Amino acid sequence: MANKKELDWRFLSEEEILSSSEFIEKGFLIVDVESNNSLNEIRHTVVDIASRYLGVSANNDADFLNDFHTGVTVSELNDIRLHLIRSLNSERWFRKHYWTLVRSYLEKLVGNELAMQLRVNLSIQLPGDDSSLLPLHSDVWSGDSPFEVVVWIPLVDCYGTKSMYILPPEKSEELSAEFPQHAKKSSEELFLDVEPHLNWIQIQYGKALIFNQNLPHGNRINHESETRWSLNCRFKSVFSPYGDKKLGEFFEPVTLRAASFIGMNYRYPKTTR
C-alpha cells in the first residue's frame, strides 16, 4: 500500500495538494464554514429546542449556550442531550445543511461520492463535569474504518480545556510502534504518557474542524468558565472499505453519482432461460 511519501499529486490542483498535504502532516484542518447561514440556522435550532425543553427564553444564542451550566445540573444533562440529538436529526434539512458547511473540503480530502453518518452527534460539556469525558482513544481501535474523517463543528468558541485534543501523526506512529508496552496501562496513564505532545484545538464559532479519527484524541474536564457545545459526524468515500459500522446501518450514500448509481443497479442479462 502506498504511504504518504509515495502519493502521486499530479492529477490534483494546487489547492487540493495544499489541503491534502496539511491534513496528512497535521492530522486535521481548521477551516471557515462555507455557509454561515446554515451554521447559524443549526445553532439557532439547537437553542430553540433546548430553551423550549427547559421552559426558558433565550435572548442571545451564544450567551445561552455558553452559560448553559447556570440553569441545568449534571444529572439532567444526558436527557437533554439525547432529546436534542433526536430532535435535530428528525429535521429533514439538518444533515444536508451540516454537509454544506464543509462540502468543498470533503471533496478535496475524501472524495465527491460520500457516505455520511446517519445521525449527527452532539456533545455538551459543563464546567467541572467529569461525566462527559472521552478518554484518549483512536476510533479504529473500536472497529471504525481507517478511511473515515470526522467533521467537528463548535457551536461556541472552544479553547483550553473547553475543547478537545489530538495526538499528531508522528507521535501517533510512535505510540503504535510501542503499543505492547502500553497495553496494561489505564487510559489515564496512557494520556499522561503522551500529554506533552498533544495538540489542543483552539477554534472559534464559524469554523469547522476536520480530523483524522485514526489519531488518538479525546477531551478532559472542562476547567473553563463556559459550557462547551459541539457537533460531530463521520464521512467516508462510499466505495472505501467499511469497519464494523456498515453502509445502511451506520452510513448512507449522500452524493452518489449517476454512473455509480447505474453500475450498482446493473444486472447482467441471463444467457439461459
Q: What is the pLDDT of residues 36-52, one digit of tens each?
A: 999 999 999 999 999 99
The enclosing domain of 107 has a CATH number of 2.60.120.620
Residue 144 is assigned to a structural domain of this protein: yes
d(CA 162, CA 92): 30
DSSP string over 97-150: HHHHTSHHHHHHHT-SSEEEESS-EEEEE-TT--SS---SB-GGGGT--TT-EE
pLDDT of residue 271: 85
The domain total for the chain is: 1
Q: Give the E-state strand segments of the chain in sequence order.
A: 28-32, 114-117, 121-125, 149-154, 165-166, 199-200, 207-212, 217-218, 228-237, 251-253
**Domain membership flag for residue 270:** no
Residue 2 has pLDDT above 80, yes or no: no
Convert the pLDDT of each residue in 91-117 to its tens digit.
999 999 999 999 999 999 999 999 999
Residue 264 within any structural domain of the chain: no
Residue 143 has pLDDT above 80, yes or no: yes
Q: Is residue 169 part of a domain?
A: yes
Closest CA to 125 of 102, 154, 100: 154
For residue 242, tell me if it sits in a domain.
yes
Residue 241 lies in a domain: yes
Least confident of 47-51, 58-62, 133-137: 133-137
144's grid cell = 471504525
pTM: 0.94
How do residues 211-265 score in pLDDT, each as one tens digit?
999 999 999 999 999 999 999 999 999 999 999 999 999 999 999 999 999 999 9
1: pLDDT strictly greater than 70: no
Backbone angles phi, psi at 231, to 5 degrees: -110, 150
The answer to whether residue 97 is domain-embedded is yes
Report the distance separating Cα 205 and Cα 154, nearest Å: 6
State how far the Cα of 116 lies from the Cα of 113, in Å rounded to an integer.
10
Q: Which domain holds residue 68?
A: 26-255
Kindly report the number of other CB atoms within 10 A of residue 234's CB atom.
21
Average pLDDT over the chain, rounded to an integer? 95
